[in-house]
Amino acid sequence: MCTPEILWALQTDLFSEVARYASIGENLDCKGVNGELLIFMALDRCPEAVLIEVVNSLARSPSLFAQNSSGFTPLLAAASRGLAKITRTLMGFGANRSVVDNQGLSLLHHAASWPLLRQVAVDLPVSMVLHQLLLRDAVGDLPLHRALRSRRFAEALQVLNLAKSQDSNVASTAAKSANNAGETLAHLNADLALLEELVLLNVDLAASDSQGAWPWHTVAGLEGSTASGTLQKVAQVSKAPLELTDARKRTAMHYAAESGQSDNVQWLISQGANLRSKDEQRLLPLQLALAQQHLHLLPIFDANNGFALEAAGGFGNVTLVRQMILEQGYSPYVTDDNGRSMIFETLEKGQVKVAEFLVTRNVSLIRLDHQGISVLGAAALAEQPSAVEFLLQTVPVWQRMANGSTALHLAAQGPQKGANIVNILLRAGARSDAATYRNRTALHFSANAAVVEALLEGNATVEWQDIFGATPLHLAAAEGRASTVEALLASRTTQVDALDGEGKTALYWAAVGRHTETVQTLLRWCGTLAGVEIPSALPENLRGMLITGIDEQCQCDCGKFQFDPLFTMDSWLRCSTTVRCRFGGGSGQELRCARNRSVSLNATGTGQWQPAQLNINCRAVSSALRRVVGWWSLLVLLVVR
């Protein structure tokens, strides 16, 4: 245990006292009250000049070679702080240079974030450098990944060249290796000289990380990549399209804006980048910038028709919007090339507070854009319940759009919150059977079972036909909306083999659209082609389904019924059949798959067998004959399959 005086000096940052204790030979090979060695406490707190005294006083003592609970040695701790003199001194004392901590971080990993990376790489034996260059930490980073993340580009290039001079395979592997996030060195580099070396090592500049981003995307978000020429070089070598998107539908402009890199944003603009592209969350590049408080990008976007005010409205910063309109002279009435003023973007993002302010500026809530979509329709399509409720305070729920549709038609297309918005509109008085110019109701556009159920509860007509004679079932089958098809059939209010104006059934259109899951659903509900020839161009698996059907195809949504081998059944028709005795005796009994009204159409188990158990008095047979029948039934089943 360290003396209280030494611990007090260290804990109160009396560094001169700590240095004095070291110089007079006090025992510093000791522990604090929590069992931590003094050397680790000193490495956490003391300046390098004091640490030199402490380390020299501990020369050759066991403390200099110990590992703490995190797996750190004094050498790793010194390197992690970038303490060049301490690191070199400890290496001179023979500290273990090959040890790794609990996170898999080697000496090179810890040094990589500091200028001392160059020194450590030179001081270590070449074989150890080559070995540690390929070591991965807990997140899959090699030392050079950590170096580039800390912008140690020059040091990383020197170490890479050192490795290349000794073993080109190691250098190539280090250059091409991806961490757990899929990032190669090219994804993290903003230095032209290093990029040129990576190109010489055949690093793939079209490699995607776990977000689907190429180096083209990530380099656009790195400071200095335009000034160094790295961004231009990446674009040239990778041949990345300007509007290439990652898995989140983000472009290079999204990356540049989110990181606040004005030089990169301006260079991308000079190349013709689209400032209005939206990612999968419908976020504009400027909205990502505003989320990170990069307000300095506002004038750049505004000067290049980036509709800065629109982006600010969608971001939802009421104070910023007020300031831009009232103090900086921005107009909330300006429309873009699609005829949309900022109110569209604002309510598509559900920013009701901003919309409330815009109403005080007399911004129109009933205008249509150039596609004929209303503000209410846009909010419904964007699945923004709060925005829809706000608009319904002043906008008529029956407002028609260019093709005769209403907001209900667009709400029905919402896969996540569509049913919720449908219910809001119905409660506000929307007509469930309002039709477009093609005579299609909202039910024709239902995205899933939840929407179907909401519309049926609003008294929508299931068998409504459009101008082509197509019912909602026909349209859902043709577009492969299997959940919608299942719900329409489970409601028992539509005919599975209803014919459209061309004399085709829903099964025909599902097959033509090659929607395998929908075909299987319709077959399970006794769907047929109603005499129409099977299209010759179908894949073999679909042709086979249509020719032979699938096992238990007409048991609808009830699941398999367990039959006694002594029973036989007639043909299925609309989820029902007649069960009879195989060897005579008793009368037949109807077996029907009926709607289970205690279960939502948006759930499983929407059907139930009636009766749950058959009550047929068949002629008695011997146990031997029963076994024969059972084996024969099994054999027939195997042959059919």
In the chain, domain spans? 567-640
Separation between Cα atoms, residue 253 and residue 266, nearest integer Å: 10
Two tokens at 208? 């995607």
Q: How far is C-alpha 66 from the chain's CA centre? A: 44
Using DSSP's 3-state secondary structure scheme, residue 568 falls into strand
Amino acid identity, residue 503? G
Least confident of 178-192, 403-417, 543-557: 543-557
Mean pLDDT computed over every residue of the chain: 91
The stretch 31-48 carries a mean pLDDT of: 91
In 523-588 the beta strands, taken as DSSP E runs, fall at 567-569, 576-581
In the predicted model, is pLDDT for residue 184 greater than 90? yes
Strand duo 567-569 + 589-595: pairing: unpaired
- What pLDDT is stored for residue 577 in this prediction? 86
The stretch 70-96 carries a mean pLDDT of: 94
- What pLDDT is stored for residue 215 in this prediction? 98
Decide: 347 and 378 in contact? Cβ < 8 Å.
yes
Decide: 189 and 219 in contact? Cβ < 8 Å.
yes
Q: How far is CA 454 from CA 155, 222, 356, 442, 479, in A?
A: 63, 48, 29, 11, 20
Separation between Cα atoms, residue 187 and residue 198, nearest integer Å: 11
Decide: 288 and 256 in contact? Cβ < 8 Å.
no
- Model pLDDT for residues 487-519, shown as the tens digit of each residue: 999 999 999 999 999 999 999 999 999 999 999
The stretch 176-185 carries a mean pLDDT of: 97
Least confident of 222-231, 294-303, 370-379, 380-389: 294-303
At 629, the pLDDT band (50, 70, 90 cuts) reads very low
The stretch 188-199 carries a mean pLDDT of: 97
- Model pLDDT for residues 565-619, shown as the tens digit of each residue: 778 887 777 788 888 887 766 678 888 999 998 889 888 888 998 988 888 877 6
- CA-wise closest residue to 441 among 472, 473, 469, 398: 472
Phi, psi dihedral angles at 259 (to 5 degrees): -90, 0
Task: Give the H or E element holding residue 607.
Answer: strand 607-610
- What pLDDT is stored for residue 545 in this prediction? 85
- What pLDDT is stored for residue 540 in this prediction? 84
Torsion region of 400: left, alpha or beta (phi above 0 gives left; psi -120 to 50 gives alpha): beta
- Model pLDDT for residues 109-140, shown as the tens digit of each residue: 999 999 999 999 999 999 999 999 999 999 99
Two tokens at 291? 């989320």
Decide: 349 and 315 in contact? Cβ < 8 Å.
yes
- What pLDDT is stored for residue 625 in this prediction? 45
In the predicted model, is pLDDT for residue 550 greater than 60? no
Residue with tokens 């608009």: 391
- Angle, helices 418-427/449-457, rounded to nearest 10 degrees: 10
Instruction: Please give the DSSP secondary-structure letter assigned to residue 374.
Output: B
What percentage of the chain reaches a pLDDT higher than 70?
95
Separation between Cα atoms, residue 86 and residue 80, nearest integer Å: 11
Separation between Cα atoms, residue 425 and residue 397, nearest integer Å: 7
Most confident of 44-58, 436-450, 535-549, 621-635: 436-450
Decide: 432 and 419 in contact? Cβ < 8 Å.
no
At 637, the pLDDT band (50, 70, 90 cuts) reads very low
What percentage of the chain reaches a pLDDT higher than 90?
76
Separation between Cα atoms, residue 376 and residue 357, nearest integer Å: 17
At 636, the pLDDT band (50, 70, 90 cuts) reads very low
Instruction: Please give the DSSP secondary-structure letter assigned to residue 371.
Output: T
- Model pLDDT for residues 400-440, shown as the tens digit of each residue: 999 999 999 999 999 999 999 999 999 999 999 999 999 99
Close Cβ partners of 137 (under 8 Å, ≥ 6 residues apart):
103, 104, 105, 109, 146
In the predicted model, is pLDDT for residue 641 greater than 70? no
Residue with tokens 């000034």: 227
- Strands across the sheet containing 567-569: 567-569, 576-581, 589-595, 607-610
The stretch 297-316 carries a mean pLDDT of: 88
Residue with tokens 């025909």: 508
Q: How far is CA 412 from CA 168, 406, 438, in A?
A: 60, 10, 17
In the predicted model, is pLDDT for residue 640 greater than 70? no
The stretch 34-51 carries a mean pLDDT of: 92
